[in-house]
Amino acid sequence: MAQKTASKKPASPSRKAATLANMESLDRGKTAKPKVKGKAAALTQLGRETTAPADPKAAVLETAPNPQTGETYVARFTAPEFTSLCPVTGQPDFAHLVIDYVPAKLIVESKSFKLFLTSFRNHGAFHEDCTVYIAKRIIAAAKPKWLRIAGYWYPRGGIPIDVFYQTGEPPKGVWLPDTGVAPYRGRG
């Protein structure tokens, strides 16, 4: 008995050429720039060699157009090895960050976000300041419908400090998973 197979419509010549052009630009280490209302977004770090900023205020947090503007969904960044410095002692502080946001028109470009987080490695600030500052920079750059950040800071002096911030109630109907980070239990 013969099975019917769905025939796939061949790509149009113009679409095929655009796809090939995008693939060729990726092969050359460049990326096709996403369109924003007829203009290309200015992504200056993605696909290029970049150096980590020395300070979070100097870091450029870039955005790209949200490819699913008609949908309400959660995007999550997890940074289990975030590092900053104590502003008093200069000792390193470590945190596990979980950032959830519901994009509006823009999404946060991940390479610029990684570089932004890296810029804290030699930056002295208290746990609360680092956590809330990261949230505010994302809000300023991407203007999400909603955002929450959970900063689970590893103990120093025997006391872990966990910092939580959100912009309000999450949008109705959005699926919001648990952060997945267990509370500190010591060696338990």
**What does the DSSP assignment read for 119-171?**
TTTT-B--HHHHHHHHHHHHHHHH--SEEEEEEEEPPBTTB--EEEEESSSPP
| pLDDT per residue as tens digits for the range 46-76 | 656 777 777 899 888 999 999 999 999 999 9
Q: From residue 96, give the alpha-carbon distance in Å to each of 42, 65, 176, 185.
A: 30, 27, 18, 15
Task: Verify whether residue 86 is a known catalytic residue.
Answer: yes
Determine how many CB atoms are found less than 10 A away from the CB of residue 8: 6
Instruction: Quote the distance between the C-alpha of residue 125 and its chain's center.
Output: 21
Q: Which CATH architecture has domain 44-166?
A: 2-Layer Sandwich (3.30)
Active-site residue, selected from the candidate residues 55, 93, 130, 162: 93
| pLDDT per residue as tens digits for the range 76-129 | 999 999 999 999 999 999 999 999 999 999 999 999 999 999 999 999 999 999
Active-site residue, selected from the candidate residues 86, 129, 130, 162: 86
> What does pTM read for this prediction?
0.75
